[in-house]
């Protein structure tokens, strides 16, 4: 399905790839090194959300009474409306608006613009969500970013200390996080509220995650058993990834007719440090 991919080609070793199915960024190469995790058994034919890269969650994070888990954005076909390179930046813009399928689940008119931008050392992804209908609506949204790491057990992730969170694995709500740096060695699925920026550091990886208008962060690694249970996830893929997912999920964002909401994340490879994978 090559026609379904858009390439952002900045310079030798600096590129990104976006699948029109879900407007999912499936690859971010920085200085010749891949920074995103993409499962080798991910469906890439539009039959299921892409397992890896940056799937877009909208209009609902998690299980949804009206439709599939994480909403329809990641399983909709998006249109590319721009792809250009200028002043050391390669960028592309994608759009999604209501259609028969989305209206059957969520009876609201909307337009989303999704901007993907790379320059050496950084990837920025930004959503502009507009209410184009006559009624107010509410939603949750999230950038479900799968970061690639050489060895998750040797990584430390910061940016959560002092926040409240829900631990979906132990089913405990309103927990308090006191760890300055989190290490992962089991199934982790936590929704943190009011986080700031994050760092992901370890041998061969040094990434910074900055976010705008995305107050919360979901931290996820399925670990051994859950990885095996997912047909589109490599059995040992859990060792090579962590999802740090900036989102607006703790509360629902309300948009009145005509209003828009802009949010973004910026991923940076720190000090030109390169992943060795």
Contact residues for ligand BG6 (CB under 6 A)?
Answer: 49, 69-70, 144, 168, 189, 218, 220, 245
CA distances from 173 to 1, 176, 185, 222 (A): 42, 9, 21, 19
C-beta closer to ligand BG6: residue 68 or 121: 68
For residue 164, how many C-alpha atoms fall within 13 Å in the half-sphere facing its CB? 5
Q: Smallest gap, in angstroms, from Cβ of residue 42 to ligand BG6?
A: 10
Q: Smallest gap, in angstroms, from Cβ of residue 222 to ligand BG6?
A: 7
C-beta closer to ligand BG6: residue 102 or 221: 221
Residue 149 in contact with residue 238, Cβ under 8 Å?
no
Q: How far apart are CA 62 and CA 56, in angstroms?
A: 12
**Which one is catalytic: 117, 144, 177, 198?**
144
Q: Smallest gap, in angstroms, from Cβ of residue 220 to ligand BG6?
A: 4
C-beta closer to ligand BG6: residue 218 or 263: 218
C-beta closer to ligand BG6: residue 70 or 148: 70
Strand 79-86, strand 56-57: pairing: unpaired
C-beta closer to ligand BG6: residue 80 or 230: 230
Q: Smallest gap, in angstroms, from Cβ of residue 179 to ligand BG6?
A: 19
Is it true that the peptide bond before 222 is cis, omega within 30 degrees of 0? no
- Is 144 marked active-site? yes
**Which one is catalytic: 117, 177, 208, 245?**
245
Measuring CA to CA, which residue among 203, 224, 227 is closest to residue 277? Answer: 203
C-beta closer to ligand BG6: residue 70 or 108: 70
Q: Smallest gap, in angstroms, from Cβ of residue 247 to ligand BG6?
A: 8
Q: Smallest gap, in angstroms, from Cβ of residue 36 to ligand BG6?
A: 15
Catalytic residues: 144, 245
């Amino acid at each position: 399905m090559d026609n379904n991919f858009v390439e952002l080609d900045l310079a030798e070793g600096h590129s990104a790839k976006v699948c029109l199915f879900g407007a999912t960024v499936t690859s971010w190469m920085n200085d010749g090194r891949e920074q995103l995790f993409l499962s080798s058994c991910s469906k890439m034919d539009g039959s299921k959300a892409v397992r890896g890269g940056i799937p877009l969650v909208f209009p609902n994070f998690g299980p949804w009474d009206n439709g599939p888990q994480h909403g329809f954005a990641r399983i909709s076909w998006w249109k590319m409306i721009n792809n250009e390179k200028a002043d050391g930046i390669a960028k592309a813009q994608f759009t999604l608006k209501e259609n028969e399928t989305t209206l059957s689940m969520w009876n609201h008119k909307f337009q989303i613009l999704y901007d993907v931008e790379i320059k050496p050392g950084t990837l920025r992804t930004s959503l502009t969500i507009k209410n184009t209908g006559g009624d107010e609506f509410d939603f949750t949204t999230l950038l479900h970013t799968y970061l690639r790491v050489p060895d998750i057990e040797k990584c430390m992730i910061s940016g959560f200390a002092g926040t409240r969170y829900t631990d979906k694995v132990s089913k405990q709500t309103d927990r308090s996080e006191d760890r300055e740096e989190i290490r992962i060695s089991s199934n982790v699925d936590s929704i943190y509220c009011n986080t700031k920026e994050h760092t992901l550091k370890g041998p061969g990886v040094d990434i910074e995650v900055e976010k705008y208008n995305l107050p919360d962060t979901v931290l996820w690694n399925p670990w051994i058993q859950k990885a095996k249970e997912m047909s589109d996830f490599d059995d040992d893929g859990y060792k090579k990834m962590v999802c740090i997912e900036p989102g607006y999920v703790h509360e629902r964002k309300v948009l009145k007719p005509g209003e828009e909401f802009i949010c973004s994340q910026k991923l940076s490879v720190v000090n030109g440090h390169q992943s060795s994978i």
